[in-house]
Chains A and B, each alone.
Chain A
């Protein structure tokens, strides 16, 4: 079974500061993928960044980077230079390797990020 834990229900960050959202995971799959999604109040899940378990380097996408520490089973999202538009719910998710039939995404409970002007 796969499990995602997000221990920060809510965070308040000053505009233009960097923010780290925590995510730890548990899985018995030897190969897996980790995702971060942003969910504004409108409800749509917006894909932010992906990290494969065998990727040698941490993933980056613009202002988003994923701090992947495999031995510690953590996949924290770092947002640099936060903007007011970053205020939203953020979900960490995992998917097992397709060959093991783990097609589904398993989500954490999310972190509500509020950017303060």
Chain B
């Protein structure tokens, strides 16, 4: 069973640039969630994708956008990067059932983004 993978592991960008982060979900999982973890903080929910549609969004501006592909992998895109976007970006996959509180989310190793 393949776990959640993310690429790249590290990334350095300058203010104003755009970035795309990638996530491959764990085998059998159909839901992907993205989180931003600033230094010394707990992860903050950005958004979640289920069946290629956004299914819930946290308090992040529209310049944070995403995609989910038919194989359930996902991308996080951030436009017009700001210094405060420097953080660890975590992707988590899970299997969504139609009822119940559902299963735990399994996290990838994260992408550490530095904005200069």
Q: Do A and B come from one complex?
A: yes
Report B29-55 residues with CB < 8 Å from chain A CB. 31, 33, 35, 40-45, 48, 55
What is the CB-to-nearest-CB distance from A22 to chain B, in angstroms, rounded to a whole number?
15
Q: Does A47 contact B (CB under 8 A)?
A: yes
- The complex places the Cα of A34 from the Cα of B37 at a distance, in Å, of 19
Report A87-112 residues with CB < 8 Å from chain B CB. 91, 93, 95, 97-99, 101-110
* Residues of A in contact, count (CB < 8 Å): 30
Which residue from A42, A103, A110 sits with its C-beta under 8 Å from B109? A42
Report B3-50 residues with CB < 8 Å from chain A CB. 31, 33, 35, 40-45, 48
- The complex places the Cα of A101 from the Cα of B100 at a distance, in Å, of 12
Known A-B contacts: A44-B107, A107-B43. Give 9 more (CB < 8 A): A37-B107, A45-B43, A47-B104, A47-B107, A98-B96, A98-B102, A99-B99, A104-B33, A105-B35
Q: Which 6 A-B pairs have the closest CB atoms?
A: A107-B42, A45-B107, A104-B45, A43-B110, A44-B109, A103-B56
Which positions in B face A, CB cutoff 8 Å?
31, 33, 35, 40-45, 48, 55-56, 58, 88, 90, 92, 96-97, 99-102, 104-110, 112
